[in-house]
Amino acid sequence: MIYKFNVMTQEEAENIAFNWHYDGDYSFYDMEADAEDLEEFLNPEERGNTMFAVSKDKELVAFFSVSKIADGIFDIGLGMRPDLTGKGNGIEFLRAGMNYVQSEFKPKKITLSVATFNQRAIKLYRKVGFKDVETFMQDTNGSTFEFLKMEYK
């Protein structure tokens, strides 16, 4: 299937922020779980043209962000609609995202960070070719959590 990446509209941002709720431990990824992240996600100026709504068959299925952090190095963030997670859709979506980043931005390296409890995502990232770089602690969602930084060359 073909994934389409378009700069996110305000309507799409609000839909994701207020209607996408994940089960169990994955509720960590609910936009409303962190007021600062929510405010940034809902602010069109903060999102700029680096946050993409991803559609498949004209249906919003995911979001994908791309930020240049240094010359030739781009950091990505992504999220799939909750009802589509854990069903084997991740590899196709991640590969589509990686192809998009490579064709549009020509990176030397792609990085991402993921909460270490999210072994499902870490397994997926490793399967696509990301390598572990380091773990670090980050304040978010009202506490401090361990994250894994990964990179793809």
pLDDT, one tens digit per residue, over 50-102 is 999 999 999 999 999 999 999 999 999 999 999 999 999 999 999 999 999 99
Is a pLDDT exceeding 90 seen at residue 15?
A: yes
Packing angle of the helix pair 35-42, 10-19 (nearest 10 deg): 160
pLDDT for residue 142: 87
pLDDT, tens digit, for every residue of 102-137?
Answer: 999 999 999 999 999 999 999 999 999 999 999 999
40-45-51-54 Cα dihedral, nearest 10 degrees: 100
Mean pLDDT, the chain, whole residue set: 96
Annotate 55-90 with three-state secondary structure.
Answer: EECCEEEEEEEEEEEECCEEEEEEEECHHHCCCCCH
- 83/60 Cα distance (integer angstroms): 12
Q: Is 1:56 a contact under the CB 8 Å cutoff?
A: yes
Question: Among residues 11, 81, 7, which one has the least CA distance to residue 47?
Answer: 7
State how far the Cα of 90 lies from the Cα of 126, in Å rounded to an integer.
12
Amino acid at the residue 43? N
Q: Which CATH number is 3-152 given?
A: 3.40.630.30
Threshold 0.85, pTM exceeds: yes
Mean pLDDT across 13-21: 98
Which residues fall within 8 angstroms of residue 80, CB to CB, at 6 or more apart?
61, 62, 89, 90, 93
CB-CB contact of 80 with 93 (8 Å): yes
Residue corresponding to tokens 């990505």: 76
Name the band, by pLDDT with cuts 50, 70 and 90, for residue 151: very high
Whether 1 has a pLDDT exceeding 80, the answer reads no
